C-alpha cells in the first residue's frame, strides 16, 4: 500500500529541489544580469537533480498505486467469478 509518509517524502524532495533552483534569485544573492556565481551553479544543479528525482518519485508512487488498484480489481473479479459458479451449481 502506498504510504502517505512516502508520498510526503517524495513531495518534500521535489519542493526542496524547486526551492534550491529558485533561491539564488529569490534571495538576491545572484545579481540580475551578472554571470552565475559558483553558489548559484551549485544550487541550480543540485536543485534540478532533486526536483527531477522528486518528480520521478511521484510517477513511481502513481504507478505503484495503479498496480495496487489493478490487483484489487483482479481479486474482486476472481471472487465474483467464484461466487457466480457456486450460485449456479457448476
Domain ranges of the chain: 4-88
| Residue among 59, 27, 24 nearest 42 (CA) | 24
**pLDDT over 90 (residue 71):** no
Q: What is the pLDDT of residues 9-68, one digit of tens each?
A: 999 999 999 999 999 999 988 888 889 999 999 999 999 999 999 999 988 888 888 888
- State how far the Cα of 14 lies from the Cα of 21, in Å rounded to an integer: 11
| Residue among 67, 65, 68, 57 nearest 13 (CA) | 57
Amino acid at each position: 500500500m502506498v504510504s502517505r509518509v512516502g508520498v510526503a517524502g517524495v513531495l518534500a524532495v521535489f519542493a526542496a529541489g524547486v526551492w534550491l533552483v529558485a533561491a539564488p534569485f529569490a534571495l538576491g544573492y545572484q545579481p540580475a544580469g551578472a554571470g552565475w556565481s559558483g553558489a548559484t551553479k551549485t544550487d541550480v544543479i543540485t536543485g534540478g537533480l532533486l526536483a527531477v528525482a522528486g518528480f520521478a518519485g511521484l510517477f513511481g508512487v502513481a504507478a505503484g498505486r495503479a498496480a495496487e488498484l489493478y490487483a484489487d480489481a483482479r481479486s474482486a473479479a476472481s471472487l465474483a467469478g467464484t461466487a457466480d459458479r457456486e450460485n449456479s451449481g457448476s
